[in-house]
Amino acid sequence: MSEHEDLSHDRLKNHFAQRVIHQARQVLEVWQRLQQHEWSGADMAEMSEANIRLLRYAERFGQAEHADLARAIDHSLNAVLANKGRLSSGLISELNLAMQRLSRTGLRHGDQFEQTFLPPLRKPVYLALEDGERAERLAQQMESFGLIAQPLGSADAFHAAMAERHPAAIVMDVDFSGPGRGLALAEAVQQKLEQKLPLLFYSHADTDTPTRLAAVRTGAQEFFTGTLDASTLIERIEILTRVAQYEPYRVLVVDDSRAQATHTERVLNSAGIVTRTLTEPIQALDELAEFQPDLIILDMYMPECSGTELAKVIRQHERYVSVPIIYLSAEDDLDKQLDAMSEGGDDFLTKPIKPRHLIATVRTRATRARNLKARMVRDSLTGLYNHTYTLQLLEDAASRARRDGKPLAFAMLDIDHFKKVNDSYGHPMGDRVIKSLALFLKQRLRKTDYIGRYGGEEFAVVLPDTDAATATRVLDDIRRRFAEIHYPAQPLDLTCTFSCGIAELEDGLDAAALSKRADQALYAAKHGGRNRVEIYQG
């Protein structure tokens, strides 16, 4: 086969793969829409039809991973039909897991630690910049983050690329191919498209309001000026192009009446809400630690303890202070309802309640709780988990690892000579480096890993189901590739490295001791010359 035939064959394979990925997005979009209301037979039929098309395309075009996932989704959907349309929490969890895996396929690394770039089947980002050297440098930087970027040198090259394949996003210089021509070029392209592409404009010099207004009218979602670094650009592209993953709400129902608890569970399950029921309130705290619900529904009157007493006990634990508690009871005395809400409750619903009212209340309260929790547990600069919550996640992961007999690794990372970065280049550059490493870790670690900003230039990673040797291979590869990133600066571009210490959970070791061991390994890496990964040696 000639080189030309090889290229044609590769382009054909990419085209077919894109058909499959497009259909996968269709399935995910239907799945997300299902979360907005109670699921109906028509909803399930639409999901099934979209998934059958995915399976057909995946089998026809030889995309084995998509085919396996489509079969798993089909199996869960058939189980729902066999259950007469009722959704159990187990079926919802199965569907959600398959959807999460589907959303990563072709977009991010899979669950396994395969240290390769993102699959080449992912759509590229087109770089239409007036400065060709800048575009080439930016493309190389984006490749370090695992994204494919294609620099285009002229308007003709841009049109040819668009005719062959639509990109994930377009980065357009306002003066590409001539003063102001980039604006006109982008506008002409967008007008021909039914579904507009994410469009980001760039100008080397500061621009006036009319120019920015013209960019907005072409559909621009971002406008960069001056320097254009890869980490900031990729962070924005990720937000604009991501197929959002839906994580079902999790509700714990505590009611001594098994019939009432089962009824509530079925109502919530019918709306795709994962529900656990508990008829013995004394077990509530153990269930909370295991299940980590977004919301709790309590019966007011139970023989072992009342709902208000249980609410007080729950509120005594700091990590559950912000979890909404809804009382669901036949009590119709308003004064007693108000008294109950003053004892740690957030809402009071009177039985019998219409299913759609219950679903709407749960969704509203759970959404607010998630938004509040995200602000409480995440670092404002990077969006990673903060120090306190990272340690909570480590404790939870350690408990699960001991229970399931699986390995657990904990890593601590520290950017080398970071004070020099701030002193020589200023704090804005320091923040850029911190955000860059945060994004790099999010790109290259699994969704099942927890990444936290431990403080300043220090990061922490919880790696479930991973031994120290595997964690070392993963983080050492990340270390090498992070060192290749260049940050535009004068007189020379800046590059940074990090040191890393890793410890593995052992019998008799708690989360605090594991964290201390990782810190000691990090200390050894620093004193061993920096820019290296060390495993704790006892």
- The residue-averaged pLDDT of 310-333 equals 82
Predicted confidence (pLDDT) per residue in 255-274, tens digit: 888 888 888 888 888 777 88
Residues ≥6 apart with Cβ < 8 Å to 443: 108, 145, 146, 234
Do the Cβ atoms of 496 and 416 come closer than 8 Å? Answer: yes
- Asked which of 85-94, 182-191, 309-318, 481-490 is least confident by mean pLDDT, the reply is 85-94
- Quote the percentage of the chain above a pLDDT of 90: 25
Phi-psi region of 106 (alpha: psi -120 to 50; beta: other; left: phi over 0): left
Query: Could you give the CA distance from residue 41 to residue 369 in angstroms, rounded to a whole number?
Result: 30
Predicted confidence (pLDDT) per residue in 204-254, tens digit: 888 788 888 988 888 888 898 887 777 678 777 776 765 444 577 889 998
Q: How confident is the model at residue 7 (pLDDT cuts 50, 70, 90)?
A: very low
Q: How confident is the model at residue 107 (pLDDT cuts 50, 70, 90)?
A: very low
- The residue-averaged pLDDT of 181-196 equals 86
Q: How confident is the model at residue 89, as a pLDDT?
A: 63
Query: Could you give the CA distance from residue 414 to residue 394 in angstroms, rounded to a whole number?
Result: 18
What's the one-letter identity of residue 292?
Q
Q: How confident is the model at residue 404 (pLDDT cuts 50, 70, 90)?
A: confident
Give, as one character, the DSSP assignment of residue 106.
T
Do the Cβ atoms of 49 and 83 come closer than 8 Å? Answer: no
| Six token digits for residue 53 | 């098309």
Do the Cβ atoms of 460 and 395 come closer than 8 Å? Answer: no
| Six token digits for residue 105 | 């396929």
- The residue-averaged pLDDT of 1-9 equals 47
Between residues 4 and 36, which one has the greater pLDDT?
36
Predicted confidence (pLDDT) per residue in 123-172, tens digit: 789 999 998 888 988 888 777 666 788 999 999 999 999 988 888 899 99
Residue 327 has pLDDT above 70, yes or no: yes
Query: Could you give the CA distance from residue 80 to residue 45 in angstroms, rounded to a whole number?
Result: 11
Predicted confidence (pLDDT) per residue in 46-102, tens digit: 888 888 989 988 888 778 888 888 898 888 888 877 776 666 667 777 787 788 777
Do the Cβ atoms of 269 and 86 come closer than 8 Å? Answer: yes
Do the Cβ atoms of 252 and 288 come closer than 8 Å? Answer: yes
What's the one-letter identity of residue 167?
P
C-beta neighbour count of 47 within 10 angstroms: 22
List, in sequence order, every residue forming a beta bridge with 125; answer none if it has no partner: 149, 169
Residue 198 has pLDDT above 60, yes or no: yes
Find tokens 């399976």 and name the residue: 55
